[in-house]
Amino acid sequence: MEIYKNEKREYYLDEHSIADLFSLSVDEFIEVREYQRDEWIIHEGMRPDFLFYVIEGKAKIYVTHQNGKVSLINFINAHEYIGEMELLNDVYYTKGIQTSTKTVCFAIPFHHYRGQLLEDVKFLRELTRFLSAKSTNMAAKYTQSLAFPLENRLADFILQTADGNVYKEKHVTVCDFLGVSYRHLLHVLAQFCDKGYLQKEGRHYRIRQPNALQGLAEVLKNE
């Protein structure tokens, strides 16, 4: 993890300003952080000291069940928050947040701003909209598993988790998230390769036709 300083920090604060999301000014103590692919922004079970706002990149949310199984439960994209539940709740089990690509975030320290954020009507209104959309998207994911073929859901998953044009998620993780058998997943991946959407390279896949995958994924978004 790298914390941007001086001119680089100021560039991001100016170019990606989030001042309009708050009534108060948060620029004085805000950090601009860069995480490389597969770095942990938050470790599961460890409460964060910051509210994060993603500027660039993508991340994944993981949880460990009582039987020790680790599950991918959702995605985080640019212009979304991380740590908002810990801001709002004194008692909350923190999920693990791991980057899918290089990710740049604003990090707003709780010890400087928590009280002010919880009294900032403008910010709380924005956060309410974000949480409502997040809840709706989570519900949609579960209904889509029954309503749409794996081809559509896998195309969306590949685009969500790819780093540039490279897709390298573990098959067991995908099967668990999409609720499909290992055999069915391999069958559809082979179909994507046969159609030229993907090209297998060792243990990962290179995306050759992103527009074709986007077309399949768009069916879900039009629901």
The stretch 131-139 carries a mean pLDDT of: 84
Residues 25 and 109 reside in one and the same domain: yes
Average pLDDT, the chain: 92
Same domain, residue pair 104 and 213: no
Q: What DSSP line would sit under 51-87, residue for residue?
A: EEEEEE--EEEEEE-TTS-EEEEEEE-TT-EESHHHH
**Per-residue model confidence as pLDDT tens digits over 3-22:** 999 999 999 999 999 999 99
151 in the same domain as 103? no
Residue 164's region, left for phi above 0, alpha for psi from -120 to 50, else beta, is: left
Q: 3-class SS at 26?
A: coil
For residues 133-148, give the mean pLDDT. 77
pLDDT of residue 145: 65
* pLDDT value, residue 147: 78
pLDDT at 223 over 70: no
**153 and 113 housed in the same domain:** no
Q: Is the pTM of this model over 0.85?
A: yes
pLDDT mean over 154-180: 92
What would the mean pLDDT of 53-82 be, rounded to a whole number? Answer: 92
137 inside domain: no
